[in-house]
Structure 1
Amino acid sequence: MRDIAMEWSTKMTDYQVNDWLVAAEVENVLHSASDDEGRIREILQKSRELKGLNMEEVATLCHISSPELTEALFDTARYVKEQIYGHRMVLFAPLYISNVCGNECSYCAFSSSNKSLKRTALDMEAIKRDTSELIEQGHKRLLMVAGEGYAASRGGFQYVLDAIASIYEVTEKVGNIRRVNVNLAPLHVDEFRLLKEAGIGTFQLFQETYHRDTYASVHLSGKKRDFDWRASALDRAMEAGIDDVGMGILFGLHDWRFEILSLMQHIRHLEDKFGVGCHTISVPRMEPADGSAYSLAPSAPVSDDDFKKIIAILRLAVPYTGIILSTRESAAIRRECYALGVSQISAGSRTNPGGYSEGETEAGQFQLGDHRSLEEVVAELASMGFIPSFCTACYRLGRTGQDFMDLAKPGLIKLKCDPNAVTTFQEYLLDFASDTARATGEQAINKELDCMGEKARKSSEKMLIKIRSGKRDVFC
């Protein structure tokens, strides 16, 4: 891999101020949106057409308060989720390679002022050990995460590329990691090109909050303090050819209604400029973090009821965009949110570098709410009628960006995703599951086959025969 010791830590000139993010428009739409029951039900009915919603319609749904309309919202979200994603639920694990960070963020344990935290940037052997542990659990897809400080500690951006290569190099008897997604600080276009060449799946970056004053009040120093540099990062990623990008908001920093409408502006901007929006939206909610008093009393806390509304509204607003729910949330809350629109979840997570091979010897980035193992989560999903999916086929076959949407919107992607979910789940059951979990999983697979159309079922059955005969990594 070539040497790329760039001046990326100081070169901040290849972006423009974000004129697509207009707070006044958000405020005006929220203020003028109707709370009329008839209008709300009209929007919910439109949502069932699976064509998404505009900002006025999203703002109107944000005004729902009555139990009856809330349940109507949830019922519509369940319908849309079922129609597009069926019963499959994609699983992954985060892999933190570094907690070294030069930013001062009031809500984060990795904040540079937190002197109680031991700073670590894993070397390549340590990264491989954590990767090996995750493979042995049954994971096939990872989200690699690094604090914004690896440049000084491990040789700059090359460290990130070496880490990705190291993850892909690990092969155990039970398999390997088939796709690495990444959550990294904003990069320059030339660095994004190198990231694409490294074989990543999704590039993920959270704006945290789209409210400029709030952003300035919680990002006190470091590169992350530059709002526009961060907000324009996905433009640079897509300019570099990465057409699979993920957005996110840290709910609790500012009013969630403002954040959702601003997110809609960001998505609209990417669609206007590149023809396709984000592939995923993450919905982390503020949780306590070591050394952060702010995290214990956030400015705009989100209740469980409002959190479920957020997920349901996003599912209707952008029906073909994946929604990711992390282990920040408790098992009980996660369970309630699955059917409302969530399509990807993490499981068995650790948020400290070395956490899988060495244990939780240091505080993680935030407090986990769901401490269950991958197998426990898989068993629960199967018992609830979901099909845990470890599929990475779309990434490896180039079905990303516009190509993915071209298949998703007419419903054709289900002919690929449903069979691949079943076969990767079968692979997991044979290689990793206990007898009890395997029996529950086999029942879920058989039930899923009965629900499939003829073409998807035939494809699934052909691949299942290969998996059961000993072949692995079979997909369509």
Structure 2
Amino acid sequence: MSFYEVIEKYKDFDFDSYFEDVTDNDVLRSMAKDKLNHEDVLNLLSPRARKHLEAMAQKASKLAIQYCGKTTCLYTPIYIANYCENHCVYCGYNCHSGIKRKKLNLEEVRKERDCVADKGFKHIIVLTGESEIKSSIEYIGDAVEILSEKFPSIGIEVYPMEVEGYKHLVSKGADSLTVYQETYDEEVYKKVHIKGPKANYRFRLDAPERGAKAGMRSLSIGALLGLSDFRRDSFFSILHGEYLKTKYPHIELAYSAPRMRPFKGSFHDIVDVDDATEFQILTVMRLFDPHAALNVSSRETLDMRKHLMPLGITKLSAGVSTDVGGHSQGEHDTAQFKTNDDNSIEEVANMLKSIGYQHVFKDWERF
């Protein structure tokens, strides 16, 4: 069974009616369980559950301490290209956005590598726009190989590939894959992805599984909250993680719940996701899978990330530049979006220390 078939089981499910019918007893019954089923996930994502969020968070925090401790790994993204062939109405990289296009040559990749390594980072994520023509698999592989000389863990967030493409990147040193489905609602997906390779809903949906087959150690998934019904998207994000962990038990699974960050002239039909809802979604992710990694990027403010930490946030970005070559070349007009906070390593470290947490740069060794 593919994950698409899992989603199809809910094709005629009335989420709105279900959420309206959830009672306090439903929430309390689900919250009391050690192992949540799909119905429990819906109950805890419901508007009714907001009344019980403090109790939910306390349970999630206990699980986080038990399974994750009080340590989080700091990472930073490295953008090596921003050429894109897609017309996605919400994204600053879309082919009609008018931003300055740039692609680092391999010598510039080395300079970016050295600049980031000098700051202490050991975990990075490599990003490009979605253009295989401008950023070929071979080019990304060459960049990963250069970066692997100084970073023991390299994630990639690029266009979806076939298994062989991912195998090539694994052979060059990539060990983790991030693919956000953006929205699991296929009809909304079609409306916001007007043209380009990304318009293929099924190909993107199956990309994390192809990464697992190719040998990726870690998979990061999630929806871009605000494009569609965020409760429905969060529900399917959780089910997607369950599907991947059940089929590929060796992988490290990371959930993320990024919220929309608009750019000038972008998509305006955004569904508002307030701070309490973001907190609720990540709480349910922790309750559903105490072993999962949770990743919160600088799309969120430092204060928000401080309040999320007790849920067991195991991955935090710091020292972020969303510009191509932004760490070493001082670019300011090639970004996909602007971060909510430009937090330095020191600012993030001080925040963690203030609440009794510590950061590490390295939690994985390549052999």
TM-score by length of 2: 0.93
CA deviation string 1:138-194 (max 9, x = no partner): 111101111111x3235x21000000011123xxxxxx3222111121111111111
Q: CA–CA distance in 2 between the matches of 1:58 and 1:165?
A: 41
Decide which of 372, 380, 390 is 2:361's aligned counterpart.
Answer: 390
After superposition, the Cα gap between the structure-2 partners of 1:355 and 1:23, relative to the gap in structure 1 and judged at 3 Å, is: farther
Alpha carbons of structure 1 residues 340 and 352: separation in structure 2 relative to 1, 3 Å:
same
Q: Is the 8 A contact 1:178 1:392 kept in 2?
A: no
Structure 2 residue aligned with 1:315: 286
Q: Which residue of 1 aligns with 2:113?
A: 131
What is the alpha-carbon root mean square deviation over aligned residues? Answer: 2.1
In 1, distance between residues paired with 2:270 and 2:90?
A: 11
Check the 8 A contact 1:143/1:181 in 2, yes or no: yes
Query: Which residues of structure 1 form unaligned runs of 5+?
Result: 1-15, 170-175, 398-476
* Dislocated runs of 4+, deviation >6 Å: none
Provide Cα deviations, 1:85-135, integer angstroms capped at 9, x if missing partner: 1100111000000111111111111110012x1101111111111111111
Match of 1:420 in 2: none
Q: Does 1:152 align with 2:133?
A: yes
Out of 21, 24, 27, the residue aligned to residue 37 of structure 1 is 24
Same amino acid, percent of matched pairs:
27
Does structure 1 residue 287 correspond to structure 2 residue 261?
Answer: yes
Equivalent residues of 2:222, 2:255 under 8 A apart = yes
Match of 1:54 in 2: 37
**Greater shift in the superposed pair: 176-185 or 220-229:** 176-185
Which structure has greater helix proportion? 1
Contact persistence 2:294–2:313 (CA under 8 A): yes
**Within 5 Å, which residues of 2 pair with 1:71-220?**
71-115=54-98, 117-149=99-131, 151-153=132-134, 156-169=136-149, 176-220=150-194
- Report how far residue 211 of structure 1 moved: 0.3
Q: Within 1, Cα distance between the matches of 2:50 and 2:11? A: 29
Q: Is contact 1:244-1:279 (8 Å) kept? A: yes
Q: Quick check: which has more Rg, 1 or 2?
A: 1
- Paired residues for 1:18-37 under 5 Å: 18-22=4-8, 24=10, 27-28=13-14, 31-32=17-18, 35-37=22-24
- Unmatched segments (≥5 aa) in structure 2: none
Alpha-carbon displacement from aligned partner over 1:390-439 (angstroms, at most 9, x marks no partner): 1232x526xxxxxxxxxxxxxxxxxxxxxxxxxxxxxxxxxxxxxxxxxx
C-alpha separation between the residues in 2 aligned to 1:17 and 1:71?
Answer: 32
* Letter paired with 1:339: P
Secondary structure (helix, strand or coil) at the match of 1:327 reads: coil
Aligned to 2:226: 252
Give the letter aligned to residue 194 of structure 1: H
Q: Alignment partner of 2:327: what SS?
A: helix
Give the letter for the 2:354 counterpart: S
Whole-angstrom CA distance in 2 between matches of 1:270 and 1:94: 24
Which amino acid letter does the alignment assign opposite residue 343 of structure 2? R
Aligned length: 365
- Partner AA of 2:144 in structure 1: I
TM-score (norm 1): 0.72
CA distance 1:67–1:252, change in 2 (3 Å)? closer
CA distance in 1, matches of 2:327, 2:244: 36
Amino acid at match of 2:105: D
- In 2, Cα distance between the equivalents of 1:67 and 1:140? 38
Alpha-carbon distance change, 214 to 396 in structure 1, aligned in 2, over 3 angstroms: same
The answer (yes or no) to whether the contact 1:290–1:363 under 8 Å persists in 2 is no
User: Which gives a bigger RCO, structure 1 or 2 (Cα 8 Å, sep 6+)?
Assistant: 2
Report deviation, 1:270.
2.3
**Separation in structure 1 between the aligned mates of residue 143 and residue 220 of structure 2, nearest angstrom:** 20
Distance 1:53 1:328 in 2: 29
The range that moved more, 85-94 or 129-138, is 129-138
